Structure 1
Amino acid sequence: MSVFQHPEFDSHEHVAFYNDDKAGLQAIIAVHNTNLGPALGGCRMWTYADSNEALNDVLRLSKGMTYKAAMANLALGGGKSVIIGNPRTQKTPEMMSAMGEFVASLGGKYFTAEDSGIAVSDLKIMSQHSDYIAGIHAKYHYAGEQADGNPAPSTAYGVFVGLKSSVEFGLNQSLKGVRVGIQGMGHVGYRLAEHLHREGAELFVADIFPEGVDKAVSNLGATAVSPEEIMSLDVDVLAPCALGATVNEQSIDAIKAKVIAGAANNQLSTESIGEKLLERGILYAPDYVINAGGVIDIFHQRMETSSNDAMRAHIEEIGSTLKDIYTRSTQTKQATNRVANVMAEERFSNKA
């Protein structure tokens, strides 16, 4: 199948493939749209079943980054990169060096940053071979703590702000006593759990890896559930914070939550799932809106002048943006994901 005929191809500007046998690197970079500025999007390393699965992911993720940047009012376009491999067993410094060379080959059309399977230490190796690596010279932190370049704290804080806003709109209540099921207890999911715990939410957590779950049970009083249970759990809010497409034709009928608000990218397997959520009275926080805290963080780190307070205020705009989407959805009776798409496209499609 040609890339141009791929079902997830959406007039992407640039799709590049890279193979380095010596370094053990097989990677793809996709640049979706640069009307608002150079493409920014993290580098993900994952155990994809094959190259087609990796291509599918990078095309969807890069498109999502275009919409994310537009809805976060950033002068950036959307891109993404993926590395095929197990980040726990196959990652090497040589591979990260080769990835840096791959990013450099696009000449600044695409900037990369941290994503699943990639750490700041990996980005620093890449930066020895490319000037287009973001998130390695951090100056600001939304809470005034020491910044280390990891955007996960800002992503988690933005999701927390967005989830709180969604509960206020959809359930007409505060977070105290709200039952939240978190799917994925990685860097973002665990931090989200911490925020929710401080607000008095009741937490149910699941992950394919036990470390984050055990930590949440011990430190936050969370209840551990199996990955197979989490989607159908009797909770008020479902927060997908792992991989995408978990809200799909197979899972949607079992979902009992009245709000879906989480950190994962591409949570809906297809756009039409949004209509089904609307029909069932489930309020969905469009993923690229609620999880924009990380890209906002990276944007501020690249600014010549910003501050902790300015970055925090920008992240907190996520809550009001979601309420605008929900209000427009209520007025037009359109699914929230469709409303968000239209609002984003109004911002980037006709930009000269």
Structure 2
Amino acid sequence: MSLKLTELEQPDFERLVLAEDSDAGLRALICVHSTALGPAAGGCRMWDYASDDEAVADVTRLARGMTYKNAMADLGLGGGKSVIIGDARRDKTPDLMRAFGRAVESLQGSYYTAEDVGISTEDMAFAAEETRYAVGLAGGDHGSGDPSPWTAEGVFRCLKVGAAHVFGSDDLTGRKVLVQGLGHVGMSLAEKLKDAGAHLIVTDINDAALEDASTRLGAEVIAPDQVFQQEMDIFAPCALGGALNAGTVPQLTARLVCGAANNQLSTPEMARVLQDRGITYLPDYVVNAGGIISAAGEIHRRGENYRRARLDGIAGRVQEMLQRADAEGRTTNEIANAMVDQMLDKANAA
């Protein structure tokens, strides 16, 4: 074994570690943003970053986001994230994942890892051979497996809360809902929307997924570059981040935005632009917490009732957030961030 750990300076973060194992081909960053509310938890993604600086920027941004997501979901967990630098299709091996597991184990429980982009439940099982702090596993008494259905369920529940606020009813019958991105989460959300009677509009770059949604769900299929030309009631971004930007927001016809994608706003200012246009935005890190809720059940060794109670909890917080945003004249993003900051201040003062 040739695992080497290097501590990197990162202001306002508890820890940033570069983990390298030349024998296994591992170069990874593990970032712990905050453990004020409990051990840090957040997925591991594998990505072929153009530079180390790009990887550091990504892992720190994601780790901070997990602090806020985990706090708002009331999980008793802090925020962390990890990235493995490399092409998941070309460079990923069982030995690499085992080396990553040893790196996670070296943090002695201050960080729990799970699947993210480029990492599967099978990959995480190899990491779990070397660490007690890998979750999102398919087997075992508390294994949570694929988090996608839980993420979709959380988004769907929050979407219904948003619909009740915007339209006066959570009945989605006939509502035009555009789902952008039909990965595991997007397709699961589309199925729920179809069952709820929504007029489903979908787009993706995967033709097979579009064909499935068309034939099985009766969805209207549009080209990816036609999203913001569509008439819709609700926009559900479930693909890459940054979909809401200075070019797209002025075109958006939806009155409600609620989707599973991370970092939907290209800049924080877009929340105010949406609000000024009369569009209600439900912050992504609040509504897409179902996946980490599922993993938290595994961390805390709790069952399905624990997970479902926390899904109810995030829906309740969305309702509170919307009411406060209206009463205080602030954006939903500002309200959500303020709610989390208050939780962190209280924990840090204890």
Instruction: Specify whether residues 77 and 197 from structure 1 end up closer, same or farther in structure 2 by C-alpha distance, changes over 3 A only.
Output: same
In structure 2, the residue matched to 1:113 is 114
Amino acid at match of 2:161: S
Instruction: Specify whether residues 83 and 232 from structure 1 end up closer, same or farther in structure 2 by C-alpha distance, changes over 3 A only.
Output: farther
Q: Cα deviations across residues 234-284 of structure 1 (Å, max 9, x unaligned)?
A: 211111112222212232222221111011122112222111111111101
1:148 Cα deviation after fit = 5.3
In structure 2, the residue matched to 1:14 is 15
In structure 2, the residue matched to 1:284 is 281
Which whole-Å CA distance do the structure 2 matches of 1:275 and 1:138 have between them?
45
Which whole-Å CA distance do the structure 1 matches of 2:11 and 2:327 have between them?
29
Which whole-Å CA distance do the structure 1 matches of 2:204 and 2:96 have between them?
27
Alignment of 1:86-105 (within 5 A): 86-105=87-106
Does residue 245 of structure 1 match 2:242? yes
Which whole-Å CA distance do the structure 2 matches of 1:278 and 1:150 have between them?
34
Q: Is the 8 A contact 1:271 1:338 kept in 2?
A: no
Instruction: Specify whether residues 87 and 204 from structure 1 end up closer, same or farther in structure 2 by C-alpha distance, changes over 3 A only.
Output: farther
In structure 2, the residue matched to 1:64 is 65
Structure 1 unmatched runs, 5+: 141-146
> What secondary structure, in the 3-state scheme, does the structure 1 residue paired with 2:20 have?
strand
Identical aligned pairs, as a percentage?
A: 42
Q: Cα deviations across residues 92-111 of structure 1 (Å, max 9, x unaligned)?
A: 22221222122222222111
Which whole-Å CA distance do the structure 2 matches of 1:350 and 1:170 have between them?
32
Which whole-Å CA distance do the structure 2 matches of 1:237 and 1:49 have between them?
35
Does residue 208 of structure 1 match 2:205? yes
Q: Is the 8 A contact 1:216 1:222 kept in 2?
A: yes
Instruction: Specify whether residues 271 and 10 from structure 1 end up closer, same or farther in structure 2 by C-alpha distance, changes over 3 A only.
Output: farther
Which whole-Å CA distance do the structure 2 matches of 1:281 and 1:253 have between them?
11
In structure 2, the residue matched to 1:327 is 323
Which whole-Å CA distance do the structure 2 matches of 1:138 and 1:187 have between them?
23
In structure 1, the residue matched to 2:333 is 337
In structure 2, the residue matched to 1:129 is 130
Instruction: Specify whether residues 139 and 333 from structure 1 end up closer, same or farther in structure 2 by C-alpha distance, changes over 3 A only.
Output: farther
1:53 Cα deviation after fit = 3.0
Q: Is the 8 A contact 1:60 1:266 kept in 2?
A: no
In structure 1, the residue matched to 2:217 is 220
Instruction: Specify whether residues 338 and 125 from structure 1 end up closer, same or farther in structure 2 by C-alpha distance, changes over 3 A only.
Output: same
Greater CA drift, 283-292 or 214-223: 214-223
Does residue 76 of structure 1 match 2:72? no
In structure 2, the residue matched to 1:144 is none
> What secondary structure, in the 3-state scheme, does the structure 2 residue paired with 1:67 have?
helix
Which whole-Å CA distance do the structure 1 matches of 2:165 and 2:344 have between them?
27
Which whole-Å CA distance do the structure 2 matches of 1:66 and 1:203 have between them?
33
Instruction: Specify whether residues 117 and 257 from structure 1 end up closer, same or farther in structure 2 by C-alpha distance, changes over 3 A only.
Output: same
Instruction: Specify whether residues 115 and 21 from structure 1 end up closer, same or farther in structure 2 by C-alpha distance, changes over 3 A only.
Output: same
Computing the radius of gyration from Cα coordinates, the structure with the larger value is 2
In structure 2, the residue matched to 1:44 is 45
Q: Is the 8 A contact 2:66 2:78 kept in 1?
A: yes
Q: Cα deviations across residues 80-119 of structure 1 (Å, max 9, x unaligned)?
A: 1122333334322222122212222222211101112211
1:156 Cα deviation after fit = 0.8
Q: Cα deviations across residues 106-138 of structure 1 (Å, max 9, x unaligned)?
A: 222111011122111111000111111012256
Which whole-Å CA distance do the structure 1 matches of 2:19 and 2:282 have between them?
35
> What secondary structure, in the 3-state scheme, does the structure 2 residue paired with 1:78 have?
strand
> What secondary structure, in the 3-state scheme, does the structure 2 residue paired with 1:113 have?
coil
Instruction: Specify whether residues 102 and 308 from structure 1 end up closer, same or farther in structure 2 by C-alpha distance, changes over 3 A only.
Output: same
Instruction: Specify whether residues 316 and 81 from structure 1 end up closer, same or farther in structure 2 by C-alpha distance, changes over 3 A only.
Output: same
Structure 2 unmatched runs, 5+: 1-7
Q: Is the 8 A contact 1:205 1:224 kept in 2?
A: yes
> What secondary structure, in the 3-state scheme, does the structure 2 residue paired with 1:262 have?
coil
Which whole-Å CA distance do the structure 2 matches of 1:247 and 1:18 have between them?
34
Does residue 149 of structure 1 match 2:145? yes
Alignment of 1:246-265 (within 5 A): 246-265=243-262
> What secondary structure, in the 3-state scheme, does the structure 1 residue paired with 2:123 have?
helix
Q: Is the 8 A contact 2:135 2:144 kept in 1?
A: no
Q: Is the 8 A contact 1:235 1:256 kept in 2?
A: yes
Which whole-Å CA distance do the structure 2 matches of 1:283 and 1:90 have between them?
42
Q: How many residues align?
A: 339
C-alpha RMSD of matched pairs (Å): 2.0
Relative to the length of structure 2, the TM-score reads 0.90
Q: Cα deviations across residues 7-66 of structure 1 (Å, max 9, x unaligned)?
A: xx7711112223344433332222111100000001112343433333222222111111
Relative to the length of structure 1, the TM-score reads 0.90
